[in-house]
Structure 1
Amino acid sequence: MSPDMAPDKLGQVILSVRTDQFAASLQDWLDAVCVFDNIGIIAFFQDRPPRVLYTHARTSRVFDRIDSQYVGGAYLLDPFFGLHQSQAAVGLYRLSDVAPDQFQRNEYFKSYYRNTTLTDELAFFCSPAPGVSITTCIGRDETTGSRFSAKDREIAKRIAPVVNALVRQNWGDLRSDENTAPQDVAGDLRQRLAQNTGIELSRRQSEVALLVLKGHSSISIGLTLGISPQTVKVIRKQLYKRCQISSQGELYYLIAPYLSG
């Protein structure tokens, strides 16, 4: 689409705020200024699983399992969900910049993310209300098999304030229970494992297990938890022994069913 049409497309987005046409109009405008293969808009909450607001892709594989596997619990391992958990600043984020150091080696990547065929993602990130975050993700996938160039990222960065302002205006009525504490993912996982499998993990073991599944190395886990990499290795060894497993893959398939209630 010609960039000359972008102002008209932006005008249509503004006129469609708070209507059923907003997401499609937003995609239409973004298509006039950015080059991408797919778009997904997801709302994260403090007190419940995420809500998929809009998706569109040229290949069905990108969002094929988003309602079942992703919303069902895999989102807890998504680096973009990490932005919500950390209450990140409004802006534009690239997946490879916020993902853990061993993200492409973890089982979430191998069993879920790789099957989406995504090769790169940029997320416009904003928080329209307390306890609510929205990511508007544009991606590259098997359709082109390419990644975003420095020029692509610069264009997205320039329009990010406008995208996020529009998203906040359109979905400003989304609410999360402000009286509900932020999700204690490690604590909830520990409780579900004990109830369903009889495996009793310590608090620290459950924290390390979750970080391993997200794709953190021992060094990264140590920095996150404020402990030494050697201590992480000891805890990880204890964790594997407690679970009677010997690999990260086994850990994933043991724990994944209990990530979300």
Structure 2
Amino acid sequence: MELDWQDRAFHHHIATLIDAIDGSDFWTRITRVIERFVAFDNWVALVFRRDRAPLVCAESPMPDGTVDLLFRAYLEGMYLLDPFYLNASEKPRAGLITLAEVAPDNFRMTDYYQRYFKSNIIGDEVQFNLPVDGERTLIFSLGAKHHYTERDIALFAMFAPWVVALMKQRLASETFAEGVAEAVASDSAEAQSAAQQGQLSEAGFASRIEAVTQQSGRVALTAREIEVVRLSLSGFSTRAIAERLEISFETVRAHKKHIYAKLGVSSQSELFALFYEPLGRALV
């Protein structure tokens, strides 16, 4: 088989990644290799945890060196509406995951999309996923201001086997806030830290709703109503919610009517603000 200089250069880059697997600049290096073939604008490596705030491995720096307030808001609770997070929690699998695969039918109409995704990622996103166990998934996300082309997606899919393989090897060397050994083996210390910082802990979305209703003196929602709220805020239409929960369209409409009445809101935006405004000041 004949190899040209581009093939040789590519193999050289993969070799440098393998050599850097336990280094502090691993994630930066892997982005540099991929961006030689596909253009993207931001990246982040995280560990998604079921009903827990994600752990940050590394993220692309802000151009001016400041703290990304939108990303801070994401970690404090917005992640619960992220279609990639929901997919990793419900259907964890290794490989390439695209936005088109996981976004609900009304995703671009949600406040999450308008106030976070559109402002922070803007156009499109793909993720390379590696399930760690039943509760955690290591993800490597690439966001773009533009929509990825079919060629871009095809290249990402072609890269997925070696990217995920490198992620698997990297996991043993990863250091989060407290080190991967402690974080992956036991989340107790991280949970305590997150609670001290006012972040969501293991109870997740349901606990957030319960906390908001108790603090504001509103009527508590039922478990089914909480499901409807989360799906609705995530971008599922009334019909899609009905199909997902295997109930009738009219039953979902009735649930929404009861939810609005109990919480004293009259629109989807007010519902979003009720649960996310405390951490969403940076989104305004």
Q: Report TM bin, short chain.
A: 0.7 to 0.9
CA contact (8 A) 1:47 1:176 kept: no
SS at 1:227's partner residue? coil
Query: What is the Cα deviation at residue 128 of structure 1?
Result: 3.0
Letter paired with 1:196:
Q
- Relative to structure 1, the CA distance from residue 132 to residue 252 in structure 2 (aligned partners, 3 Å threshold; closer, same or farther) is same
Alignment of 1:188-207 (within 5 A): 188-199=207-218, 200-207=220-227
| Alpha-carbon distance in 1 for matches of 2:121, 2:96 | 22
SS at 2:46's partner residue? strand
CA contact (8 A) 1:130 1:176 kept: no
Letter paired with 2:30:
L
| Alpha-carbon distance in 2 for matches of 1:165, 1:229 | 43
Alignment of 1:240-255 (within 5 A): 240-255=260-275
Query: What is the Cα deviation at residue 57 of structure 1?
Result: 6.3
Q: Is the counterpart of residue 175 in structure 1 residue 184 in structure 2?
A: yes
Structure 2 residues without counterparts, runs of 5 or longer: 173-180, 192-200, 280-284
Alignment of 1:180-259 (within 5 A): 185-199=204-218, 200-257=220-277
Letter paired with 2:41:
D
Q: Is the counterpart of residue 38 in structure 1 residue 42 in structure 2?
A: yes
Query: What is the Cα deviation at residue 56 of structure 1?
Result: 2.0
Letter paired with 1:91:
G
CA contact (8 A) 1:38 1:58 kept: no
| Alpha-carbon distance in 2 for matches of 1:256, 1:155 | 36
Q: Is the counterpart of residue 82 in structure 1 residue 92 in structure 2?
A: no
SS at 2:36's partner residue? helix
SS at 1:33's partner residue? coil
SS at 1:152's partner residue? helix
**TM-score, normalization by structure 2:** 0.80
- Relative to structure 1, the CA distance from residue 20 to residue 99 in structure 2 (aligned partners, 3 Å threshold; closer, same or farther) is same
- Relative to structure 1, the CA distance from residue 160 to residue 99 in structure 2 (aligned partners, 3 Å threshold; closer, same or farther) is same
SS at 1:85's partner residue? helix
Letter paired with 2:25:
Q
SS at 1:49's partner residue? strand
Q: Deviations over 1:116-147 (max 9, x none)?
A: 15201111111134422122111211xxxx31
- Relative to structure 1, the CA distance from residue 18 to residue 66 in structure 2 (aligned partners, 3 Å threshold; closer, same or farther) is farther
| Alpha-carbon distance in 1 for matches of 2:156, 2:215 | 45
Letter paired with 2:89:
Q
Alignment of 1:138-153 (within 5 A): 138-141=142-145, 146-153=146-153
SS at 1:51's partner residue? strand
- Relative to structure 1, the CA distance from residue 109 to residue 167 in structure 2 (aligned partners, 3 Å threshold; closer, same or farther) is same
Query: What is the Cα deviation at residue 87 of structure 1?
Result: 3.5
| Alpha-carbon distance in 2 for matches of 1:149, 1:79 | 20
CA contact (8 A) 1:95 1:121 kept: yes
CA contact (8 A) 1:18 1:171 kept: no
Q: Is the counterpart of residue 52 in structure 1 residue 23 in structure 2?
A: no
| Alpha-carbon distance in 2 for matches of 1:40, 1:157 | 18
Identity %: 26
| Alpha-carbon distance in 2 for matches of 1:53, 1:44 | 11
**TM-score, normalization by structure 1:** 0.87
CA contact (8 A) 2:209 2:275 kept: no
The answer to which of 203-212 and 127-136 deviates more is 127-136
Aligned-pair Cα RMSD in Å: 2.6
Aligned length: 252
| Alpha-carbon distance in 2 for matches of 1:28, 1:162 | 15
CA contact (8 A) 2:51 2:205 kept: no
CA contact (8 A) 1:129 1:175 kept: no
- Relative to structure 1, the CA distance from residue 52 to residue 60 in structure 2 (aligned partners, 3 Å threshold; closer, same or farther) is farther
Query: What is the Cα deviation at residue 3 of structure 1?
Result: 4.6
Q: Deviations over 1:65-117 (max 9, x none)?
A: 35420001000000110122114221111112211110110111111111115
Corresponding position of 2:197: none
